[in-house]
Structure formats: structure tokens, C-alpha cells
Amino acid sequence: MMSSGPGLRGTGQNRGKGSTAMRTIVFKGRLVIIGCGSIGQGILPLILRHIEIKPAQITIITACERGREVAAEYGIEFTNKALTKDDFRDRLTPMLRKGDFLLNLSVDVSSTALVELCRDLGVLYQDTCIEPWAGGYTDPSLSPSLRSNYALREEMLRLRVDAPVPTALVTHGANPGLVSHFVKQALLNIAADTGLGADVPKDRRGWGELASRLGVKVIHVAERDTQQGTTPKGPDEFVNTWSIDGFVGEGCQPAELGWGTHEKELPPDGRRHDFGSDAAIYLMKPGASQKVRTWTPVEGAFHGFLITHNESISIADYFTVKEQGRVTYRPTVHYAYHPCDAAVLSLHELAGKNWTMPSRQRLMVKELVSGIDELGVLIAGHAKGAYWYGSQLSIAEARELAPHNSATSLQVTSTVLAGMIWALENPMMGIVEPDEIDFQRILEIARPYLGPVVGVYTDWTPLEGRGALFAEDLDISDPWQFKNVRVV
């Protein structure tokens, strides 16, 4: 293909429209939503548009006044009283019957506790990340290993049982969530473009073998948010385009990444866990203090924060290939996140205050005036170099598509909606992760809300332009070693 710009080797685009024409699904039960921040508010119009449900069937429980006006706009009951470890069962049990749905969009409420409750009551469950009770991310009495998303995921997976139980779809937002489906579609695209065919694998092993045959070494969840508001960040203020508490919480956890079989050496500050799948490692530093090199089509090369996310672990685990119990293939997987510029300044201030939250927080939604959220997966090491596949949603298009959303939130809320519909269509699947469900069905539902969905090949590598001003310790023989990706 002809070059499409510096570093580009071809692009494909799919701009989803006609979202209101999507068929609806009938739900006669009760829906309890925990949390009403940017995602809780943004999901309401989508639920009412695509699920046949009355506002009287929906109840919101949250821990602050944020979202009350939006709930009132739709006639939905709103309770501002945080759930706690001591009272959540007593409060939720009278509100939920068999066949109902609990949608957890909160922070500081244990996901595993809610999954166990829903199983006891016969209720469907979905969340966007695995949360501990308040303080779990930063509890100094726990080792870094036990404060990790790896540990939270292992705790959740231990709840799996063989008997048919109500579906609990965990970690299904944009990332984690949507990006797992992007990975599968991207692998099929690469396979077709390299002559390996595009047959859809039928199981987990088939997907792992496909990635291995393609020669995939790394998968970056590469995201650049360029949205801007009308008011600059002020001193002692944290500004962001999505949950500030959620971002700070995960930013203070150890940096984590799925650890691939092509890697030659563990980082000096890298540690393995002594339990679980061994699919990932962590670094002895918070993710918000560690940067990595990555690439997206609009932004080009940039430094992103190595923020821990469940998909870094679940994708690496899902695509692992074993022979006679020995791991023969696994890609390195991690998040590489450049948030909006105001959030970068906020993180800088936060780190300077030793990770103490500033006194003021500002979530930008209505005040946003420009920019996009470029969210996708960069899959590299194969015959065509690297391939980015994902969404390039602008704030302007997000507002055209759904009220109460930014570009960032709509990528999440549309995937939450898709997960809810999938769960209603598959109500007895037990605990499942995004990697394990029908990626084509999820993309079918979410794509109309994602703006341009593009696939772009690039010849960029993390070695590009390196060593010109100063000598660097690089592995020239393999550009995709984490040693080369990491910013030191």
C-alpha cells in the first residue's frame, strides 16, 4: 500500500453510524447500578435507548451527589449512601431477585464480594474493573504483589465453579474490555494481510496459536487522549476526563505487564508473583511513575504511563500456549496511556506530593471543547512490523451520538452496554472475562458509538531515533524487548 504519512503503511477505516437503529432487548427484571460518576451517567441514555426497560426498574446507589441531576432527568431513583463491607449485603439483598442485574460502576466496593452476593441471589453481574474495598490499592500492610491487579484477578478467578451459575462479566469497559475484542479483530486482519488466512479460531488455544504463528511479540494498549477544556488546571487540583478516584487508585498500584516468552531478561526492579498463572510481572514502583514508548496513528510516537490494568494480565494469559505443561508462547502486554494534558499535569503534581490526592477534583465533561480519545491496540513483532487497531472518537462526535458522554466515557459506556446485552443473551455463563466471550457480538453493538475505527500498519519501533544525543543501553537485535520500550 502507498504511504499514508510518516511511519504509516496503510490504513483502513470504519465509521459507525445509525446507532439508534440497533435492535433492543427486553429486560423485565430490576437493574441496580452502583456508582454514578462519568460512566454511570453516560450509560443511562444508552441503556434506555437499547434495552427495553422502564426507569422505575432502575435504582442507583452511589457515594456522592455527582449524577443526581442526570438520574432525575431520566426519572431514576438515586440514593447517596456508600455501600460498605458491613452493610452491602443487608442493603442490596432486598433490592435484588433472581434474574435481576447488578451493574457495578463504583470505586471502593469489592467486586468479589458483589459477585458472591449475586451468585447467592441468582443475579447477573457486570463491572468495568475488579475493585477492592476502600484502601485496598494502597494498604501498606500488603506486599506490592498483593496490591496488584494480578492478585485481584486471581481472587476473582478462584470464585469460579463448574455448576451453571448466573453470568458475572468482569472487567468489561473500554480497557479492560473493548481492547480485548480489538486484539482478536486485529489478529484476523494481520493474518489476512500476511497470507495466513482469516479463519476465526474456535477456542483459546486456537487464538494463542494464531498469535504465535504471526510472530506477535508485544501488544500495547496504546491510548492518547487529546481532549481539552475551557479552564486550565489550577494548583492543588486534579483534572481528568474520567473517574479521578479510579485513575489515581490504579496509578498508585504497582506497574504491571504480561510477560512474554521473547523477553531475554527480567527488569532489575521486576518481580514475579509466587501464586497464580505467572502470566505477568510487576515493577517495584507505581504505574503513574513509569513511562513506556508506544505509537498511535494520529499522535505518532509518544511516552505513555505504564498504568496497571486487568487486560495486561488477562490478554497475556489468554494467548499463552503450553506444550506438556510448559509455556512455549506468550506475548508481552501492557497499557501505555497518555491522558489529557491537564491530567498529565495533575499526575506530575500528585507524584510531587507523594501520591496524596489534592484538595480539589474536576471531572471535565461539559467544558470539553476539542480533541479525541485515540484508543486501540498496537500489535508488533509480526511480518508487517506493527499494526494499530482501534477507535479515534472525538468529543464532537461523542456528543452527537449520546448525551452525558465525552469521547473517553463513550468508549466505555458503549462497551458496558454491549456487555449487558451479551450477558442478558447468555445468562448462565458464570464468571467470564472479555477475552472469553463473543468478540464479534460485542463489536457489533459497540461499534456505532466508537467513531472512526481504523487499522494502520507502521514501521515505527521503540528504537527509532534512539542514541543520537546520548548513548543508551539498547538491544538492537530485537526492537520489541521491554528493555527498549521502557523509559528510564
Please give the helix or strand (H or E) that residue 130 lies within, else none. none
Q: What's the CA gap between 321 and 319, in Å, rounded?
A: 6
- Alpha-carbon gap, residue 200 to 296, rounded angstroms: 26
Question: Distance between CA atoms of 69 and 403, rounded to whole angstroms?
Answer: 13
C-alpha torsion 360→363→367→373, nearest 10:
140
pLDDT score for 197: 82
pLDDT in tens, the chain (488 residues): 333 333 444 444 454 444 444 668 999 999 999 999 999 999 999 999 999 999 999 999 999 999 999 999 999 999 999 999 999 999 999 999 999 999 999 999 999 999 999 999 999 999 999 999 999 898 999 999 999 999 999 999 999 999 899 999 999 999 999 999 999 999 999 999 999 987 899 999 999 999 999 999 999 999 999 999 999 999 999 999 999 999 999 999 999 999 999 999 999 999 999 999 999 999 999 999 999 999 999 999 999 999 999 999 999 999 999 999 999 999 999 999 999 999 999 999 999 999 999 999 999 999 999 999 999 999 999 999 999 999 999 999 999 999 999 999 999 999 999 999 999 999 999 999 999 999 999 999 999 999 999 999 999 999 999 999 999 999 999 999 999 999 99
Which residues fall within 8 angstroms of residue 217, CB to CB, at 6 or more apart? 260, 262, 331, 332, 380, 381, 478, 480
CA distance 123 to 168: 9
Angle at 124 between CA 72 and CA 391, to 5 degrees: 70
Domain assignments of the chain as residue spans, ordered by start: 25-169, 178-405+450-485
CATH code matching the domain that covers 178-405+450-485, chosen among 3.30.360.30, 3.40.50.1470, 3.90.1300.10, 3.40.1280.10: 3.30.360.30
Question: Can you give 63-118 as a three-state secondary structure string?
Answer: CCCCCHHHHHHCCCEEEECCCCCCCHHHHHHHHCCCCCEEEECCCCCCHHHHHHHH
Angle 141-144-149 from CA coordinates, rounded to 5°: 115
Find, among 337, 332, 273, 266, the residue nearest to 307 by Cα.
Answer: 337
Question: Which position has the grid cell 510516537?
Answer: 301
Q: Tell me the three state secondary structure of residue 1.
A: coil
The DSSP output letter for 94 is G
> Residue 98, class by beta-carbon neighbours within 10 Å (0-12 exposed, 13-18 middle, 19+ buried)?
exposed
Q: Of 194, 307, 188, 322, nearest to 257 (Cα)?
A: 307
Backbone angles phi, psi at 382, to 5 degrees: -90, -175
C-alpha of 406 from chain center:
16
Distance CA 419, CA 171 (A): 10
- Asked if CATH classification 3.40.50.720 holds for the domain at 25-169, the reply, yes or no, is yes
* DSSP letters spanning 208-243: HHHHHHHT--EEEEEEEE--B-SSPPPTTEEEESS-
Chain centre to alpha carbon of residue 72: 29
* pLDDT value of residue 22: 65
| φ, ψ for residue 484, nearest 5 deg | -80, -30
Compute the distance between CA of residue 295 and CA of residue 224 in angstroms, rounded to an integer: 9
CA 181 to chain centre: 11
SS3 189: helix
C-beta of residue 483 within 8 angstroms of C-beta of residue 474: yes
Give the dihedral sign, CA 273/474/334/245. positive
Cis peptide before 268 (omega within 30 of 0): no
Q: What's the pTM value of the predicted model, to 2 decimals? A: 0.95
> Residue 152's closest CA among 107, 120, 118, 111?
111
Which residue, chain included where needed, has cell 483534572? Answer: 239
**CB atoms near residue 22 (< 10 Å):** 18
User: In the numeric block, which cell numbers belong to residue 366?
Assistant: 461539559
For Cα atoms 460, 394, 221, give the angle at the middle one, nearest 5 degrees. Answer: 40
The CA distances from residue 264 to 86, 259, 377, 479, in Å, are: 47, 11, 23, 12
- Alpha helices of 406-481 — where are they, by DSSP H? 407-425, 439-446
What is the Cβ-side half-sphere exposure of residue 122, based on CA atoms within 13 angstroms?
4
For residues 393 and 223, is the Cβ–Cβ distance under 8 A? no
